[in-house]
Structure 1
Amino acid sequence: MTEGNFVDYVKLYVTSGKGGQGSAHLHREKYVAKGGPDGGDGGRGGHVILKGNKNLWTLFHFKFKRHFRAGHGEAGGKQRSTGADGQDVYMEVPLGTVVKNTDTGEKIMEVTEHGEEKVLVKGGKGGRGNWHFKTSTNQTPRYAQPGLPGEEMNITLELKVLADVGLVGFPNAGKSTLLSVITSAKPKIADYEFTTLKPNLGIVQYRDFQSFVMADIPGIIEGASEGKGLGHYFLRHIERNSTLLFMVPADSKDVVKEYGILLNELKKYNPEMLDKQRLLAITKSDMLDEELKQELATEIKEGLNDLDHIFISSVAQQGIQELKDKLWNMLNEETIHS
């Protein structure tokens, strides 16, 4: 998937169909002088329905179609026949899609399961035919109900990437490089900040044909939770990850401090993020000798309450299998506890 095709935010207009008119038909038959009312009900208007699809990873298919209209219900007929319902419109969305009312900002629903269907706007009810209104004093009502109008709404779809592991780090921390080494994803990699402008997803192949999904989120900078840089726009993608892999390069001036800034940004954005499992990866560690690694390990133990950490080098392929093992164990612990 190219970067330009990753669409995670889109505004749409949806409207359901109106209900069909009830029929005011009177029964006419040879030798039946007064057949009475037999007008049927109108059909309901079509719904606009959201449907989860695990094979979709982006909202790109909404980029060029922004209006969705369901069909109108048909009018009722004679012999109490009900009009056909209006055609429903199905909008397939990736798992992790959140729907908001664009005008009010209110969250309406979210879709998290494959095949899950949720009615976004309901079609109008069909009008009742005249046979409903027959009474002892009014044997031949010549009126019926009109159908009810449909609903319309301006909506915003936001995609929160559903991945098992989210990569958290400052720009240029080596996240894209790790993803390209550990998965078959092909993210854009360069030695400057904000190379990753869209989240990249990759499938990590593990032992015995098992796998898990890893997401490279664009780099956080200090102040991201207030909207500085690109951070705030992408922090929502980390909310869905069950495990967070913090990445700090070995040539950082202060590993403990950098980790603290990253953690603080997540906390300010959403305190619940701190409940997730965390692992610290010291990247580019092929430039460290054993003595420097030991010093850093001591710093982490003292400054971060013995946070679980690992030294890796994507380029030199150091610690990659060990990292996979640690992440797999953390993900399966998470599954057991939940």
Structure 2
Amino acid sequence: MTRSTRDPVRVLLLGGSLTEPSRSGALLEVAAGAVAAKGGESNQWHLHGTAGDDLADELREAARVADAIVLVTPQYHSSFSGNLKQLLDQLDSGQFAGKPVGLMSTRGGHAVIATEHLRSVAAAMRGLVIPTEVVAHDTDFLRVGDRYELTTQVLCERVLRFVEELLWFAARLRGAGETRAGLGDGSGPPKPWAGQLSPGITAAVAFIRENYAEPDLTLDTASQHAHMSRYHFSRTFKAQTGRRFIDFVTMLRLSGARKLLAETRDPVSGICHAVGYRDLAHFERTFKAWFAMSPSEYRAKYRTEVRVVVPPAALARTTTLKAVGHDNDGADR
């Protein structure tokens, strides 16, 4: 059945905790609640043991139909958990390619290593890792009966903005809401990445993600990193990613602007320059074309919304929950 671009965004949340109850499981539930609060649909997989072959096919189908993916893990042995690795081993780039991926982790120490490793894994599977990530400390949780609950106001607010950004990317990458001023070329919504990117485009995408805030980033500089001519790069980039170079850069810049508007008190003019725009008027026009509100209006709206914290036990439109046994792979997170 063909889905309409007006259908809710489907988010697959994959968690790999080591015990039950777990802090990472509580974080996954908060994210699912935020997805529902923002009008999306969540499908939760939270593994506590070994996934059998009967679950592997179901997981692959859940990943295939998802518009976005969230990976949630405790930090264990300076990386992500073995249980989450079991889930990821069932998937390939065919299920991740062209989809936004959000990263969340819990930890007791200070090094943010688990999400760094997951970022590399998601990128290798051709997912687009969104700029914002969520890292919670053990002290952000409270044991209540047989479950953990996230109790820190700041973390709850960050999860809400994290989910909002994930849904924003997902809607645009699947082609929803593309009929805005200045977007597209009249050929219809862009197609998502359908598989492996070529080495040249892979290098260019990595370069763009690292340098989108540079005002001197141009099609010419990106094509040099792909070792292609300007014309060939432009055609190949759109063919493989489903969108033009300038639209991809704009997505990253506006996502960065939203993050700064939500998390800082920096003036709009400063944020404009921080994400790669030289001209304030151009930045404000572009922002309003994508979001139907000015940067200042977005900041005010966001601060109003986050006053209502997503409750940890918020009901989500969850289609699947998998919790299989226990193992002795690590500490309670």
Task: Specify if TM > 0.5.
Answer: no
Tell me which protein shows more strand as a share of its residues: 1
Query: Of the two, which has the highest radius of gyration?
Result: 1
Larger relative CO (CA 8 A, sep 6+): 1 or 2?
2
Tell me which protein shows more helix as a share of its residues: 2
TM normalised by structure 1 equals: 0.29
